[in-house]
């Protein structure tokens, strides 16, 4: 059985049901070498995955570019940036083009994980930039990545948005401004309105690894999606996930368990600036009684969004 492919809404872009999530292999999480990461991506490309999700923040452009060069395969590329001004978003897109060594990016998202119902006001100038860049062919489709049910619903009716990358998982972990049932309805609305939809964090940042099949069945039963992004950091994970999506025997789970992956704060380095609290998409960081950053591990998505904003390098995903 060959992996299913779907057209991303009105974009005409055909993607495999499995999307290679490039976040975990980068410096925000596992921090694999460029060569190690490129080899894993290359394996996925050779085995049939044609869709890679990355971001300016993830700092994984270099291994993706190397994998494309070594494999000779040009996949569908989605990137994103949380830049809000026209000039900064333009620079972010040009950085992606240059670093990935491509003439265009298939999908470029407003990286609005934490933003609420005012997201399109906050990113108005950045969105205007993406519209202009789409007109001249530097990007093919405009998207928004979000943890918010409100934003997903707004995106469904937004004429300029082609693709949406919403969070959903069977526990509702990481969702903002709504419940998992409400996000499912938003996803169905997006699909009905002919938006491209691919899903993020269906394994809740790794916390649902030990119930992989149940978590994946929950996501796939939604049906109104075109692809599911899964972070992969080893050859074994690539093979396991591809076998699953091709309906083959998967065998033993090779993934890290949630116990193996955690965010740590160096209290000695923490200067109590609060930038990590502002960056966290799941509101799991707060100040403790000593005024130091403290992470609620019960709801931490181990996404690593907090690590690059810390000026003291006090937070690490290990």
CATH number for 296: 3.30.70.20
Verify that 86 and 184 share a domain, yes or no: yes
Verify that 156 and 288 share a domain, yes or no: no
184 lies in some domain: yes
167 lies in some domain: yes
Strands 51-53, 76-81: pairing is parallel
255 lies in some domain: no
Q: Mind listing the pLDDT tens digit of every residue in the chain (318 residues)?
A: 789 999 999 999 999 999 999 999 999 888 999 999 999 999 999 999 999 999 999 999 999 999 999 999 999 999 999 999 999 999 999 999 999 999 999 999 999 988 999 999 999 999 999 999 999 999 999 999 999 999 999 999 999 999 999 999 999 998 999 999 999 999 999 999 999 999 999 998 888 888 999 999 999 999 999 999 999 999 999 999 999 999 998 888 886 544 466 777 877 768 889 888 888 888 889 888 888 888 887 788 778 778 767 866 578 666
Verify that 93 and 237 share a domain, yes or no: yes
For residue 192, give the 3-state DSSP assignment.
Answer: helix
252 lies in some domain: no
220 lies in some domain: yes
Distances in Å between the Cα of 249 and the Cα atoms of 40, 239, 244, 246, 256 are 21, 11, 7, 9, 19
Verify that 93 and 168 share a domain, yes or no: yes
267, 297, 19, 78: CA torsion to nearest 10: -40
Range of the domain at 202: 5-245
| Count of domains forming the chain | 2
Distances in Å between the Cα of 277 and the Cα atoms of 67, 115, 200, 269, 280 are 34, 14, 21, 16, 5
Strand (E) or helix (H) holding 246:
none
Verify that 297 and 154 share a domain, yes or no: no
- Decide if 273 contacts 30 (C-beta within 8 A): no
| CB neighbours of residue 179 within 10 Å | 11
- Counted residue by residue, the chain has a size of 318
- What are 73's two structure tokens? 């395969």
Verify that 117 and 52 share a domain, yes or no: yes
89 lies in some domain: yes
Distances in Å between the Cα of 242 and the Cα atoms of 183, 200, 238, 239 are 26, 17, 6, 5
Verify that 132 and 213 share a domain, yes or no: yes
Of 218, 245, 272, which one is at a domain's C-terminal end?
245
Residue 136's CATH number: 3.20.20.100
> What is the per-residue pLDDT for 261?
67
Query: What is the end-to-end Cα distance of the chain in Å, rounded?
Result: 36
Verify that 9 and 132 share a domain, yes or no: yes
254 lies in some domain: no
253 lies in some domain: no
Sequence-distant (6+) residues with CB within 8 A of 39 are: 67, 235
Give the position of tokens 């904003």. Answer: 309
**CA-based Rg of the chain, rounded to a whole angstrom?**
18
Sequence-distant (6+) residues with CB within 8 A of 200 are: 21, 53, 145, 165, 166, 167, 168, 229
- Decide if 258 contacts 207 (C-beta within 8 A): yes
Verify that 28 and 166 share a domain, yes or no: yes
Sequence-distant (6+) residues with CB within 8 A of 17 are: 3, 4, 5, 6, 226, 227, 228, 245
Of 245, 274, 289, which one is at a domain's C-terminal end?
245
Verify that 271 and 180 share a domain, yes or no: no
Distances in Å between the Cα of 49 and the Cα atoms of 72, 93, 110, 291 are 14, 24, 24, 45
Cα separation, 22 vs 25, in Å, equals 6
């Amino acid at each position: 059985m060959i992996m299913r492919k779907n057209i991303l809404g009105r974009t005409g872009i055909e993607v495999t049901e499995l999307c290679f999530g490039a976040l975990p292999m980068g410096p925000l999480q596992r921090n694999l070498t460029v060569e190690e990461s490129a080899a894993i991506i290359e394996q996925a490309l050779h085995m049939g995955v044609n869709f890679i999700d990355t971001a300016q923040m993830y700092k994984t452009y270099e291994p993706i570019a190397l994998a494309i060069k070594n494999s000779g395969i040009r996949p569908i590329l989605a990137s994103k940036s949380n830049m809000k001004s026209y000039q900064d978003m333009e620079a972010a897109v040009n950085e992606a083009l240059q670093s990935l060594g491509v003439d265009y990016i298939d999908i470029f998202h407003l990286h609005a994980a934490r933003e609420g119902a005012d997201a399109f006001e906050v990113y108005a100038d950045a969105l205007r930039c993406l519209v202009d860049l789409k007109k001249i062919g530097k990007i093919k489709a405009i998207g928004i990545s979000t943890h918010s049910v409100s934003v997903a619903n707004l995106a469904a009716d937004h004429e300029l948005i082609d693709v949406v990358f919403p969070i959903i998982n069977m526990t509702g972990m990481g969702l903002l401004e709504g419940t998992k049932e409400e996000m499912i309805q938003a996803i169905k609305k997006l699909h009905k309105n002919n938006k491209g939809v691919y899903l993020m964090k269906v394994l809740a940042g790794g916390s649902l690894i030990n119930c992989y099949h149940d978590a994946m069945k929950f996501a796939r039963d939604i049906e109104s999606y075109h692809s599911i992004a899964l972070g992969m950091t080893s050859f074994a994970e690539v093979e396991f996930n591809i076998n699953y999506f091709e309906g083959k025997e998967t065998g033993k789970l090779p993934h890290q368990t949630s116990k193996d992956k955690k965010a740590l704060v160096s209290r000695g380095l923490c200067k109590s600036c609060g930038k990590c609290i502002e960056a966290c998409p799941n509101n799991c960081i707060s100040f403790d009684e000593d005024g130091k950053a403290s992470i609620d591990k019960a709801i931490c998505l181990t996404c690593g969004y907090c690590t690059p904003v810390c000026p003291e390098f006090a937070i690490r995903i290990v």
